[in-house]
Amino acid sequence: MNSATRPDSATTSVGPQLKSAHPAGSWRESWWLAFCEFAIVGLTFFLDRRHLIPVSKTPFLLLLAWVSMRLRGVRWRDVGFARYRNWRLTLIFGIVAGAVAETFQLLVTQPLLARLTGKQPDLADFRILSGNVKWTLIALAFTWTLAAFGEELVWRGYLMNRVAGLGNRTRLAWIVSLLVVNVVFGFAHSYQGGTGIVEEGIAGVLLGLVYLGTGRNLAVPIVAHGVQDTIDTVLIFFGKFPGM
């Protein structure tokens, strides 16, 4: 279980073409700028590990993403923050993708990882939701803001594009980006223990595949992510989540 700017309403592009407003030789497109950004991501992880980040890393990473994209003349719609063809298809594809991914997680990856490691994901932080309407509603609000919108904008929208851009956005660059970024995404959930890290890494790869499969559209994985976490939250509320 995972722990926003508004889209341009006129944007309906399925496959965004990321074009910077600055020439290739500009410092804004340099490797050292990308390195500085990745260093800030690492620093954010370090501070979070030291419990110096309140609530969530996501708002701080989202601010970094906004600053980076602003400097490079990249808009959110350039990385796919727009509806997929139309809102009906966006919702249908997102709900189906989320339900399928969650079913795969609950019935395949989680039982397999639990058998291999001997441990379920550590969701002790979420036990307060069990039978508690107030905290469950608060959790659902965070699910659709920090998790669904925030994490998809940061991980699939900003970081996957940033890493792939360093490799000139070739097919190989996108494959490397898909794997590297979502391994780090798994470690962003280190509070869930080793099993949770691997499980969330797999979940990130699946969301990344949804992103790439829809022509690098963010709306569908946002909905899918929200659906997944909503199912988790409801299961925890009713005391039906595996291992809890």
Instruction: State the sign of the Cα–Cα–Cα–Cα dihedral 182, 65, 232, 53.
Output: positive
Alpha helices in 15-57 (DSSP H): 31-49
pLDDT at 185: 98
Find out whether 57 and 45 touch, Cβ atoms under 8 Å: yes
**Which amino acid belongs to residue 175?**
I
Instruction: Determine the Cα angle at 82 with ends 78 and 88, to 5°.
Output: 155
CA distance 172 to 157: 18
pLDDT value, residue 2: 63
- Containing 185, the helix (H) or strand (E) segment is helix 171-187
Question: Which one-letter DSSP state was computed for residue 118?
Answer: S
Q: In the chain, which residues have pLDDT < 70? A: 1-25
pLDDT of residue 28: 72
Angle, CA 46 vertex, CA 144 and CA 31 arms, to 5°: 90
Contact 14, 215 (CB under 8 A): yes
What is the C-alpha separation between 78 and 155, in angstroms, rounded?
15
Look at residue 29 in the predicted model and tell me its pLDDT.
76
Residue 125 CA to residue 122 CA, distance in Å, equals 8
> Which candidate, 165, 181, 222, 209, places its Cα nearest to that of 18?
165
